[in-house]
């Protein structure tokens, strides 16, 4: 099987010739730049120019030599951007290591910190001294009773995840941006037999949290549902228009489109199943089915962290094909339970290795044993793509990363 065939088999619940592997196929299966440098070193590879495509989380582009050694079966639709030097500018990681970041990001020093500003010179996010990522500081609708939402597009551009969160290059959804997206997606499709993942986003819950702040947004679900419905209706107009544009350019070349909406905590969902059914399920259904209408045969994935077991049945009914990252250390998210109850209908894109503890602090042997146990449960019958649970953080030992992927490839 080719890598693309392997991923497609898994997505169709057919067991492939071996377990398909994702590493860096989207923004929640990647690796922070510091860990990536050590990984290249232990693999005996030359130093990278270090293209940090996700500036907020400071994730590195995983280059072809690493993908080849590990045996990765899927790549992000923007993978070819890092070959184009004019899309990048010089920067340095907090430890002083030189790297490249997207050229469209305007970042400046403020005392000992780094900041990005919005259109009114307000700080929209900050990387404080001693930290390894940026955090949001501006919530445009936190203290505003904006019932009309006429300025929603402007407000979104004052949010960190919208303004600088679209890696890895300044290719928007205007005509020129769509031309670049189409051209690079087509070139990637013609130049690889790996499956291609298109990360669209289309976040509903998280966009509300970005604008209102998470505590206020969750409060308003109960205290002012009419306002939230109006907000979500307006947001859906934008998402659907952008989805049409995005798929018109990249759709013919991608195998799976990735949406995002973190809806869980360690202990369960952020809200009740009843609230999911009222506010989000109908809108997810519209978005996910629209993607299939535009691109028949495309698979729909959702990045959704946390303990969302009580919501999975509704997500399947709404049209979800695959869920990531399968955070099995959360309440009711044990992989044997998930496989038994939902394995016929849902692809588990993740759940292969616990990044919160074992990958970070275990021995290589403990990592290997853990991975083999997870895969033995999730892989039979297809419906499984291996990846660790979310991104590999900066302090993960390179030996453990190698042990993780070696264990998968030995099965």
From CA 122, how far away is CA 208, in angstroms rounded? 20
Q: Which helix (H) or strand (E) holds 35?
A: helix 33-42
| Alpha-helical runs (H) found in 138-280 | 152-156, 160-163, 175-191, 205-212, 214-223, 225-250, 273-275
CA dihedral 13, 19, 25, 26 (to 10 degrees): 60
Contacts of residue 60, defined as CB under 8 A and 6 or more positions apart, other chains included, come to 30, 31, 32, 33, 36, 37, 48, 50, 51, 52, 53, 99
Model confidence pLDDT, tens digit, residues 269-288: 999 999 999 999 999 999 99
What percentage of the chain exceeds 90 in pLDDT?
90
Provide the pLDDT for residue 170.
62
**CA triple 385-408-55, angle to 5 deg:** 60
| β-strand pairing of 88-92 with 98-102 | antiparallel
Residue 120: pLDDT over 60: yes
Residues 116/106, Cβ–Cβ less than 8 Å: yes
What does pLDDT average to over the chain? 95
Q: Which pLDDT belongs to residue 45?
A: 98
- In angstroms, the CA 374 to CA 354 distance is 10
Residue ranges of the domains in the chain?
Answer: 3-29+64-80+140-409
Q: What is the pLDDT of residue 167?
A: 59
Kindly calculate the radius of gyration of the chain based on its CA atoms and give it in whole angstroms: 20
How many Cβ atoms sit within 10 Å of the Cβ of residue 277?
14
Q: Looking at residue 351, what is its pLDDT? A: 98
Q: Which tokens in the block code for residue 92?
A: 């340095």
Question: Could you identify the residue written with the tokens 């045969």?
Answer: 297
Confidence band, pLDDT 50/70/90 cuts, at residue 118 = very high
Nearest residue to 143 via CA among 226, 229, 220:
220
pLDDT at 172: 82
Confidence of residue 370 (pLDDT cuts 50, 70, 90): very high
Q: Does domain 3-29+64-80+140-409 have CATH number 2.40.50.40?
A: no
* Contacts of 161 by beta carbon, 8 Å cutoff, 6+ apart: 56, 136, 206, 210
CA dihedral for 250, 251, 256, 257, sign (positive or negative) = positive
Per residue in 68-116, pLDDT (tens digit) is 999 999 999 987 777 778 889 999 999 899 999 999 899 999 999 999 9
Distance CA 64, CA 382 (A): 26
168 has pLDDT over 60? no
Buried b / exposed e along 104-137 (16+ C-beta atoms within 10 A): eeebeeeeeebbbbbeeeeebbbbeeeebbbeee
Q: How far is CA 14 from CA 73, 193, 195, 211, 299, in A?
A: 16, 19, 16, 41, 14
| 33 close to 93: Cβ distance less than 8 angstroms | yes
DSSP code for 97: -
Whether the predicted pLDDT of 189 surpasses 60:
yes
- Residue 166: pLDDT over 70: no
């Amino acid at each position: 099987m080719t890598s693309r065939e392997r991923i497609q088999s898994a997505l169709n619940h057919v067991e492939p010739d071996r377990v398909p592997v994702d590493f860096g196929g989207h923004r929640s299966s990647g690796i922070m730049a510091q860990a990536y440098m050590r990984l290249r070193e232990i693999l005996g590879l030359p130093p990278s120019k270090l293209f940090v495509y996700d500036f907020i989380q400071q994730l590195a582009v995983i280059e072809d030599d690493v993908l080849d050694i590990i045996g990765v079966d899927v790549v992000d639709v923007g993978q070819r951007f890092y070959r184009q030097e004019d899309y990048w500018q010089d920067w340095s990681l907090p430890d002083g290591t030189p790297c490249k970041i997207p050229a469209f990001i305007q970042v400046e020093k403020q005392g000992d910190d780094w900041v990005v500003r919005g259109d009114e010179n307000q700080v929209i996010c900050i990387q404080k001294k001693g930290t390894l990522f940026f955090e949001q500081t501006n919530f445009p609708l936190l203290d505003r009773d904006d019932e009309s939402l006429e300025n929603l597009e402007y407000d979104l551009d004052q949010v960190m995840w919208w303004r600088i969160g679209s890696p890895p290059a300044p290719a928007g959804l205007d005509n020129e941006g769509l031309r670049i997206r189409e051209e690079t997606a087509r070139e990637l499709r013609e130049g690889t037999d790996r499956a291609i993942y298109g990360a669209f986003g289309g976040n509903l819950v998280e966009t509300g949290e970005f604008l209102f702040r998470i505590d206020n947004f969750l409060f308003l679900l109960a205290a002012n549902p009419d306002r939230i419905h109006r907000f979500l209706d307006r947001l859906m107009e934008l998402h659907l228009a952008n989805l049409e544009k995005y798929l018109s350019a990249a759709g013919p070349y991608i195998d799976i489109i990735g949406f995002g909406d973190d809806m869980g905590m360690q202990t369960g969902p952020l809200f009740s199943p009843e609230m999911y059914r009222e506010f989000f399920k109908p809108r997810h259904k519209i978005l996910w089915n629209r993607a299939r209408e535009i691109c028949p045969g495309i698979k729909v994935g959702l990045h959704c962290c946390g303990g969302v077991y009580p919501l999975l049945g509704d997500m399947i009914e709404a049209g979800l094909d695959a869920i990531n990252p399968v955070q099995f250390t959360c309440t009711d998210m044990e992989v044997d339970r998930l496989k038994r109850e939902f394995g016929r209908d849902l692809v588990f894109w993740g759940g292969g290795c616990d990044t919160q503890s074992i990958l970070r602090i275990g021995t290589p042997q403990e990592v290997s044993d853990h991975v083999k146990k997870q895969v033995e449960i999730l892989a039979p019958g297809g419906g499984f793509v291996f990846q660790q649970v979310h991104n590999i953080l900066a302090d993960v030992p390179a030996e453990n990363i190698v042990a993780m992927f070696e264990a998968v490839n030995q099965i």
